[in-house]
Chains A and B, each alone.
Chain A
Amino acid sequence: MRIRVDPDKCQGHARCVGIAPELFEVDDYGLSSVTVDPVPEGLEAKARLAVANCPEYAVEVIEE
């Protein structure tokens, strides 16, 4: 499973890093990014939760 943050959509709500600090980091200006690729085994549910909670639809699953 691979995920990404669309920097044009991200507005810094930081919901992803709150849910899955193992998968995301957020910079001083609020822009989130994915820190591990692909999603390590066992963290898929957290990744999906991050996708489902982003108010800007900025966190996406990359379809293979």
Chain B
Amino acid sequence: MTTRPVADWASDFDVLDPAYVERPFSIWADLRERCPIAHTDRRAPTWMPTRYEDVTAMAHDVKHFSSQRIAVIPLQVNEGNETGQVGEDGPSLEYGLPPISADPPLHTWTRRLLLPWFSHRKVAEYTPFTRELCQRLLDGLAGSDEADAAADYAQQIPVRVIAHILGVPLEMADTFTGWVREVLEFADDIERREHGILSIVEFLSSEMQGRREHPGEDLLSVLLQTEVDGAVLDDAVVLGMAVLLLIAGIDTTWSAIGSSIWHLATHPDDRDRLVQEPELMTLAVEELLRAYSPVTMARMVTEDLEYKGCPMHFEDKVLMNFPAANRDPEFFEDPDTVHLDRENNRHVAFGSGIHRCAGSNLARMELRVALEEWLARIPSFSLVEGTTVKWAGGQVRGPRTLRVRLR
């Protein structure tokens, strides 16, 4: 897909511009100085703050910046106008994808249903499964001189962990990954994105049907039996939550793992230091999340307003550019350099305010375990010479092809 070249990033930005997808950092630095809240009319009237202060202030102002429309690139099917309905009387997403696409009060109670499944304590229970999974994937690479660290490793991890939690077949991992990529990575190809979301809706609806007859102990079964205010949950609420978990749990963490491996493959000093000082891992994981935050979410302006001189109109999009906020020199010393032992790091890779990523504990654990296991087995690795790293961008940024030499 080609996009019209960008002449002025302040007034006509395009987050799908190939140069931006590959390396947005200098563009953010320029905008922060020159025009900290950029604008575009491409696809939809959209604002893009690049300073930490603005991104976090807007994320906290849920009254004026609603989560009803969270797609960075407009997609009607999950944006309120359409309902993601399969067939005339088929399952639908009439509640969107709560809690991520909801404002209070729907946000509040649906989030409380999910949080215990991703609590600090619960995530510890998923750790052995994740560690064994990583070890198995690395067994598969044993003896090879080269591998695609994105496709053969990073991509394979989060999808299986979330399938395990949801209670859906692990053997379908590649199919789930394909659907989620269709939703998130084919920006202007609306048909393909609709195909992705409708496939997920159809699949999860049929899984729900099976669990109603034979409930298990997985998240989907439990949600189906949950009562709120004396009534079982509406099917469309359960479906929306399940679709959210599958979409949010796959591309995002995979991108964080892939970007971190890319960093270590291209920065041998950091790679060696992490191998020699494993006690650095807690701070290092946060620093890698800061520098390579994968996720940008959108908000919808709820009424005409002016923010720092920017005339925002009802239904305009505002991109919660958490990745740019995390490289703001006003907040982070030497922001474009990774310091594995950075001690002042209030990064917002998982968002800020009431929509803090509900799966952040899980994502952090997966990133940590994936790096620990990789470094234990493959301590000395580098990019294959002459290889082209292929990045995806837009809503989720991370490497999709990452050829590395394993020894």
Partners in one complex: yes
Give chain A's interface residues, CB within 8 Å of chain B.
Answer: 11-15, 17-19, 26-30, 49, 52-57
A15 vs B289: C-alpha distance when bound (angstroms): 13
* Chain B residues, CB < 8 A from A17: 120
**Would you call A29 and B120 a contact (CB within 8 A)?**
no
Q: How far is the CA of A53 from the CA of B112 in the complex (A)?
A: 25
The yes or no answer to B85 lying at the interface (CB within 8 A) is: no
Within 8 A of A (CB), among B255-309: 282, 286
Whole-angstrom CA separation of A15 from B90 in the bound complex: 42
Task: Out of B120, B345, B352, B353, name the residue touching A14 (CB < 8 Å).
Answer: B120
Known A11-B353, A28-B121; contact A52-B343, beta-carbon cutoff 8 A: yes
Instruction: Report the separation of the CA atoms of residues A12 and B286 in the bound assembly, to the nearest whole angstrom.
Output: 15
CA distance A64 to B356 in the complex (A): 32
- Cross-chain contact A30 with B345 (CB below 8 angstroms): no
Chain A neighbourhood of B170, CB < 8 A: none
Contacting A at CB under 8 A, from B364-392, are: 364
Instruction: Decide if the interface of chain A is mainly helix, strand, loop or mixed.
Output: loop
**Range of interface residues on B (Cβ < 8 Å):** 20 to 34
With contacts A13-B356, A28-B121 known, is A53 near B344, CB below 8 A? yes
Q: Which residue of A lies closest to B117 (CB)?
A: A28
**Complex-state Cα separation, A1 to B121, whole angstroms:** 28
Do A11 and B356 touch (CB < 8 A)? yes
Write 12 A-B pairs (CB below 8 A) sorted by A numbering: A11-B352, A14-B360, A14-B361, A17-B120, A18-B282, A29-B115, A29-B116, A30-B119, A53-B286, A53-B343, A55-B56, A56-B353
For the A-B complex with A26-B119, A52-B346, A55-B346 known, give 4 more contacts whose Cβ atoms are closer than 8 Å.
Answer: A18-B286, A26-B120, A30-B119, A53-B344
Are A13 and B116 touching (Cβ within 8 A)? no
Residues 20-35 (chain B) with a chain A CB within 8 angstroms: none
Instruction: Give every chain A residue within 8 A of B122 (Cβ-Cβ).
Output: 28
Q: Is the CB of A29 within 8 A of B344?
A: no
Contacts of A54 in B (CB 8 A): 346
Q: Does B346 lie within 8 Å of A12, measured CB to CB?
A: no
Q: A-facing mask of B330-348, CB < 8 A → 1, else 0? A: 0000000000000111111
Residue of B nearest to A45 (CB): B343
Tell whether A53 pairs with B354 under 8 Å between CB atoms, given A18-B282, A28-B115, A28-B116. no
Residues of A close to B282: CB separation below 8 A: 18-19
Q: Pick the contact of B356 from A12, A18, A27, A53 — CB < 8 Å?
A: A12
Q: Which of A13, A27, A30, A52 contacts B344 (CB 8 A)?
A: A52
Closest B residue by C-beta to A49: B343
User: Do B352 and A55 touch across chains, with their CB atoms under 8 A apart?
Assistant: yes
